[in-house]
Chains A and B, each alone.
Chain A
Amino acid sequence: MSAADNKQLMENIFARIEAGDRSLFVASLADDVTVTVTGQYSWSQTFRGREAVLRDLFGYVRSLLEEGSRTLPFRFIADDDWVVVEARGDMMTKAGERYDNHYCLIYRIEHGKIRKIREYQDSTLCERVLGPFPAARKQAAG
Chain B
Amino acid sequence: MSAADNKKIVQHIFDEMARSNSAPLLESLADDFRFVVMGSSKWSRSYDGKAAVLAELFAPLRAKIEGRITIIPLRLIEEGDTVVVQARGRNTTVEGKAYNNVYCNVLRLEHGRLKEWIEYCDTALVDAVLGDPADAVAATAGSGRST
Residues on A lying within 8 angstroms of B by beta carbon are: 3, 38-41, 44, 75, 77-79, 82, 84, 86, 102-104, 106, 118, 120-125, 127-128
Contacts and interface: CB of A to CB of B under 8 A. Distances in A.
Contacts of B44: 122
A84 B77 contact: yes
A86 B84 CA distance: 11
A121 B120 contact: yes
Interface residues on chain B, size class: 20 to 34
A5 B77 CA distance: 16
Contacts of A44: 122
A44 B101 CA distance: 12
A124 B79 contact: no
Contacts of A78: 79
B78 interface: yes
A40 B125 CA distance: 7
A84 B122 contact: no
A86 B36 CA distance: 14
B39 A125 contact: yes
B104 A106 contact: yes
B39 A124 contact: yes
Q: Which of A41, A118, A123: most chain B CB closer than 10 A?
A: A123
Interface string B101-143: 1111010000000000010111111110000000000000000
Nearest to B7: A79
Contact of A38 (B78, B102, B106, B118): B102
A41 to B, nearest CB: 5
14 contacts: A39-B101, A41-B122, A77-B77, A77-B82, A79-B3, A103-B120, A106-B77, A120-B102, A121-B39, A121-B120, A124-B41, A124-B123, A125-B39, A125-B40
